[in-house]
Structure formats: C-alpha cells, structure tokens
Amino acid sequence: MKIQLKNITKSFGNKRVIAPTDLTIESGSFTTLLGPSGCGKTTLLRMIAGLETPDTGEIRLGDTCAFSKEQKINLPPEKRELGFVFQDFALWPHMTVFENVAFGLRARKQTKDLDHRVQEALKAVHLEDYAHRYPHQLSGGQQQRVAFARAIVIQSGCILFDEPLSALDALLREEMRHELKDLVTQLNLTAVFVTHDQTEAMSMSDKIAVLNGGVVEQYDTPEQIYHHPATAFVARFVGKSNWISDTQLFRPEAMSLEPREGDQRYNLPVQGVQYLGDTYEITLAAPHGNWMFHCDRKAIPGETLSVYIDPNQIISVKKENPTT
C-alpha cells in the first residue's frame, strides 16, 4: 500500500504541531518517523490512521482518498484497512491469545474462515502453540508478537507502529527489532514506524523521516541521513557528531591516532575515558565542543593526544535554526 501525504498540517489551539508536509511512502517499504519527544511524529502517524484529523491537505492510501480537506473526505479508522501496533500492546487480559487476535475480525464482522486466518497469523509470529494462553502467561516479546498478529490478521497492506518496542528491556528490544523487520519483509507489508530511538530507525528502515518541531528536516535512506545530513539538527540527532565549526562536522570513524596522507592533525587534551568492553570511548576537549571516538588503547584524562582527521569525510550542513 502506497501512502501519500500532501500539504498536511495540524495545530492544537495556537500550537502548530505539523507544518505543511508532503511525504510519499512507497508500497512494501519500511519507513520510520524519527525525532525527539514533541516533534510531531506520533501526530503524523495518528493522522494516517484516522485517529487525528488534519487541518489541511490530503491523505491517500493506495488508490483510496482517506482524507481531503478540499473534498470533505475523512474515512474513519475502521474504513482505512490499516493495522495498528501500540506502545503498550493493548491486549485484552481476559481474552486468550486466539481471541485477542480474532477481536479485529469479529469487530469487522469478517468471521468467514476466522479460525484459519487467526491460526495463520499466529503461525506467522511463531505463536501457534500459545493460542489458548492469556496475556499474563506470556513474556513481553510474546505479547508484542500477539499485538503484531492482531494487526496482520485483518490482511491489511500497511501496519502502523507507535513506539512498539519502548516497553521492552534492551536485549529483548534488539531481538524484536530483527523479528519485526523480518516479518514485515516476508509478508510484503508497508510499515510506518514511530520511534525516538535512532538505533531502531537506522537498523530497520528503508527510509527515515527526521522530524523537528513539526517539520520533516530530511527524508532519505539511513545511509544518506548518516553520511549526508541535510541540517545541523539531523547531524546532531542521528549518530555521533564531532563539530569543527557551526556548519562542519565529522563522524567519529573519520578520526585516527595514526596519520594518513592528507590528514589534518589536532593536538587535544583527553577529557574522559570509558571502557566499553571491546573498545575505549575517548572524549577530547575541542574548541567547538567535545569530540568523541573509539580506539583500542586506553588514554589518561589530562594527557594530550594527537589525532588525525580525513578531510574528505568532513560534512558541511546548513547552520542550525536558533528557534529549533
């Protein structure tokens, strides 16, 4: 399912939450809406779902116009045929896994082949043997898979994810990242995923929309966003950035303790050292803010290190807007 947003805006009272936004999400792609709390990413997702009404613009889901201010069209959520996975899973505690997954089908009165469809959805998430258990008898990861099964059982072409992994512990969150991405790919679904976690966004997405203050500052592949950030905000928010000036930066991997031909040399005091198990994270005091890089040798706070930067890996960006 292809999703198109044209000139979408949203305000709550006098507060603008979404500036005029155009966005095209290709069918079968995994797109993440990434940004800090309050940037508008969940509001944008809820407008796609029909849970919030835009002030202006148009939303198309495949060949269907789901919202148009001009044409006075606003399909309710249940008519948009979208799956939705919430942050808190939203499972009914008094229902079995089977009944939780079947709930959406029953609500839509789509009871033909219900047993088969529910079993197929549970099989897709590897929970076919858990159909008669209750949510409290499941682990957090299993509950998350039930929520995903409930979203895919309605055979929608698109699943919307609202920070679905934030309630899980770190190890389980990493495991579920791989599972969700693999399942979305196998089922050839369009996925729109909201998170403030850049690791989730970078590891799962085909494209990322980075939001700041209701504005999509960049919409591109993870590689382009990391290596060619469009704005200072994107550079600061995605990945580690070491700043040479207000408009120039480099990523930590561009720095070395060994000189290479053409490198720029800096002699800087060590401000801090952290041992990360497989490497040391060294913090250096630089004129435009601390620089950070990883190396395999320990440094001593206060000592001066000579570090070398590949000038070809210096990135130039637009100066950051002081109002953002």
* pLDDT bracket for residue 255 (50, 70, 90): very high
**Which is it for the CA torsion 141, 142, 143, 144, positive or negative?**
positive
Q: How do beta strands 30-34 and 207-212 pair?
A: parallel
pLDDT of 107 > 90? The answer is no
For residue 199, give every residue at least 6 positions away whose Cβ sits within 8 Å of its Cβ, in sequence order, or none: none
Give the whole-number percent of the chain exceeding pLDDT 90: 74
pLDDT of 318 > 60? The answer is yes
* pLDDT bracket for residue 164 (50, 70, 90): confident
Give the residue, 202 or 174, on which the prediction is more confident.
202
Please name each of the domains of the chain with its CATH number: 3-227 (3.40.50.300), 250-316 (2.40.50.140)
pLDDT of 324 > 70? The answer is no
- Asked if 179 contacts 203 with a C-beta cutoff of 8 angstroms, the reply is no
Could you report the per-residue pLDDT of 68-103, keeping only the tens digit for each?
Answer: 999 999 999 989 989 888 877 788 999 999 999 999
What is the phi/psi pair of residue 136, to 5°?
Answer: -70, -10
